[in-house]
């Protein structure tokens, strides 16, 4: 899919993040990987067009996946807000808690290159 504009990019990000988190919960790595590629494609587009901050609208999204992916990629731009979201997710029982905790830990160690 070719990303033509910001609206298309954000819609694809939202859809891919939701599908990625569902695939993760179901242990469906093929679907998870496919949707991660779409997330990465959107992030590349947003960076190229100086629109990464547009992900801020997703920090309060109903989907844990959309919140988590948005917060992760916004860490370099709005660190405190992003860490708050990731910390909230880290307190939810389940696999996403571990992902959020690992993301926070790696960010604080300086290991995340976003």
pLDDT in tens, 57-101: 999 999 999 999 999 999 999 999 999 999 999 999 989 999 999
Residue 108: pLDDT band (50, 70, 90) is very high
Residue 105: pLDDT band (50, 70, 90) is very high
Q: DSSP character for 60?
A: T
- In this prediction, residue 2 carries a pLDDT of 82
Helices 64-74/6-26 angle, 10° precision: 120
Burial class (CB in 10 A: 0-12, 13-18, 19+), 53: exposed
Residue 1: pLDDT band (50, 70, 90) is low
Going by C-alpha positions, the residue among 76, 74, 97 that lies closest to residue 87 is: 97
């Amino acid at each position: 899919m070719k990303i033509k504009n910001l609206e298309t990019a954000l819609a694809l990000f939202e859809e891919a993040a939701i599908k990625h988190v569902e695939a993760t919960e179901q242990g469906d790595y093929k679907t998870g990987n496919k949707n991660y590629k779409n997330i990465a494609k959107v992030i590349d587009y947003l960076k190229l067009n100086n629109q990464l901050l547009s992900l801020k609208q997703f920090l309060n999204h109903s989907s844990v996946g959309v919140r988590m992916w948005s917060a992760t990629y916004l860490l370099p731009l709005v660190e405190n807000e992003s860490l708050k979201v990731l910390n909230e997710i880290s307190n939810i029982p389940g696999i996403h808690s571990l992902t959020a905790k690992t993301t926070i830990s790696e960010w604080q160690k300086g290991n995340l290159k976003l």
